[in-house]
Each structure stands twice: as structure tokens, then as C-alpha cells.
Amino acid sequence: MNRNAHPKQLAYRIISSACASALTLAFAISAPAHASKIATPPVPSPDLQADAGSHPFLVGHATGTQNYVCSLSATSTTGVAYVLFTPEATLFNDDGEQLITHFFSPNPDLRDPNTSATVVAEGAVRPTWQHSRDASRVWAKLHPKGSLVVNQGSIPWLLLDKVGTEKGLAGGDILTKTTQIQRLNTVGGAAPAQGCASPLDVGNSAFVPYVADYFFYTNE
């Protein structure tokens, strides 16, 4: 370094060098995240394949429960059946960091209206995913024929279509570009065989543990 340089020149050089180093470090940290791509997962049926032209941009590994309540049923031979009232799951990334929470909630998009007299909401109650960092949400419904039981005793693999999105309070939009969602590699979560055998059991609840992988697709 030039010992005869003016103090202001020295300060400028030091600041410029520090900024350049910081930018280099930031690029080195962020570049892999942008460069990495998520491979499209194999599925056992064309009915589970996402639409042509779309690709997965996010994957989460879920751990939680499928929550059921014993209700009257016109199609069951016993007159009752377990009905899913909500999942409660947390999705994690490959590093084990919390990524998304999963549950049921009313869809704010009124093009998907509520048709249930038992629900006090304008929008239909749909599977919901909320990003843990920016609070953006996506609602989805089952794609036609998009359900397949792959492992007996476990909940089906699914393909779901987006029916609503919402930005987070601060404008977060990570999940708003979602077009479809796959639920794959399920283990557990199916309604139990006991606890809902007669009208006397109406109201019984069951919280059944499950794990699954969720792939979020976009056409952007």
C-alpha cells in the first residue's frame, strides 16, 4: 500500500475492497441456490404427472398427522365413516429446516365458492400450504383422476391443481406462482379401522401420523 497516500484515498480503497469482498461472498453463497434445479420425480401413473411445460420449483418433506372425525355416512354399510377434517403437517427442506405448514382453510378466491352448509365461509375449504418465511399461501383441489393408492395402509399419492393463492402480509410471493402440487412417497396417514363402527361412535377423532413429499410446480 502506498504510505504517502492521502488518508481519504486510503479510506476509499479500504471501503471499496471491503464492498467487493462482500459482494463476492454474497454471490458465492447465493449462486448455488439459484443454480440448483429440482428433478421431476417419477410417478407410477400418467394421472399423477404434472402438466406439460411445468417444472418443480420447491420440494418439502412433510411430517405430521391426518386428522379424522367419525361422522354419519349414507354410503357406509355401518352408517358411519371417518372423515378427514384437516391435516396438520410441517414441511422441511433437505437440510431439515422448516419450510411450509400444511392444513385446511377457506380459499379466499370466490371463484371457488363454499357449497357446504356446515362451513361458515365464503370460499371452499381446501388443502392449504403456507410458507414459513414469507407467509404466502396456496390452495389446491384434486386433479381429475389424480389419486392413487400406492402403499396399502397409507394415504394416496395425489396430483392437485391450484385454486387460489395469497401473498404474505409483507408481499411475500414464494408460493403464489404454484400451478400444481404432487403428494408422493406417503407412509401412514390412512383412517384407522377401529373407533368408527356404529352411530354411537360419531364424534370420535383419530390423529394418524404420516410422512410424505410435496412437490410444488410452476410454469414460469
What 3-state DSSP class applies to 35?
helix
Q: What is the pLDDT of residue 118?
A: 85
Q: For residue 68, what is the DSSP state?
A: E
Contact 56, 38 (CB under 8 A): yes
Beta bridge partners of residue 102, listed in sequence order? 89, 129
Q: Which class for 146: exposed (0-12), middle (13-18), buried (19 or more C-beta within 10 A)?
A: buried
DSSP 163-178: EEEE--TT---GGGG-
Q: What is the pLDDT of residue 36?
A: 65
Amino acid found at 129:
W
What does pLDDT average to in each consecutive run of 10 residues of the chain (220 residues)? 44 40 35 62 98 98 98 96 98 97 97 92 97 98 98 96 97 98 98 96 98 97
* CA–centroid distance for 79 within its chain: 34
Q: What is the pLDDT of residue 196?
A: 98
Any idea where the domains of the chain sit in the sequence? 1-36, 46-218
